[in-house]
Amino acid sequence: MAGSPRIGVLALQGDVREHAALLTGLGAEMIAVRRPEELDAVEGLVIPGGESTVIDKLSRAFGVQLPLRAAIADGLPVLGTCAGLIMLADTVVDAIDGQESFGGLDVVVRRNAFGRQVESFEARLEVEGFSGEPVTAAFIRGPVVESVGPRARALAALPDGRVVAVEQGGLIGLSFHPEITGETRFHERLLARAAERTAAAA
């Protein structure tokens, strides 16, 4: 589709297919990103849920970790869901020895804050800037944002006050999986950020 935004999904591990289907349904041209040359071709990126430790190790093995850090620092719009939020966080609590993130989001995130997979749950969230129905969010062994630094802002929190969605410039980090519940507004925001950046560079 001519003129469609080129959005990558980091395809090292995790629920890549679900994000790809959602992006394609929104009219984006989806590119699976595993290597630096594929990263160079995209105008925005999704880091999907999965295992943050595995994504970290494979990003280094495929040579994409440092280029992705540089792209984030240069303003590449990125949506990180669940493990993707961990990978975007500047600080990760309860990381395993040697685990690294890509960084970019001025937040402190705790891994597996919601317990085991059998303790997964859904919640309805009011999200800043979203009109219409609340977001139905699926939490599966998700992280939680323990603190939000001055460069980032909270977009949504659970009733007990725990922050589960944050934004900083073109970066969006979510503790949950919108692609599982058919929630498209976060991906639409990513597409809008990508279009704005592309237009500004033209």
Just list the catalytic residues.
82, 177, 179
Q: Give strand pairing partners of 173.
A: 80, 166
User: CA 109, CA 91: separation in Å to the nearest integer?
Assistant: 6
DSSP 3-state of 157: strand
User: CA 77, CA 179: separation in Å to the nearest integer?
Assistant: 18
User: CA 93, CA 40: separation in Å to the nearest integer?
Assistant: 30
Both tokens of residue 135?
A: 């977001």
User: CA 52, CA 170: separation in Å to the nearest integer?
Assistant: 21
Count of positions (residues) in the chain:
202
User: CA 169, CA 97: separation in Å to the nearest integer?
Assistant: 30
User: CA 73, CA 66: separation in Å to the nearest integer?
Assistant: 11
Label the pairing between strands 78-81 and 29-33. unpaired
Q: Which residue shows structure tokens 């699976």?
A: 32
Q: Which residue shows structure tokens 């599982």?
A: 180
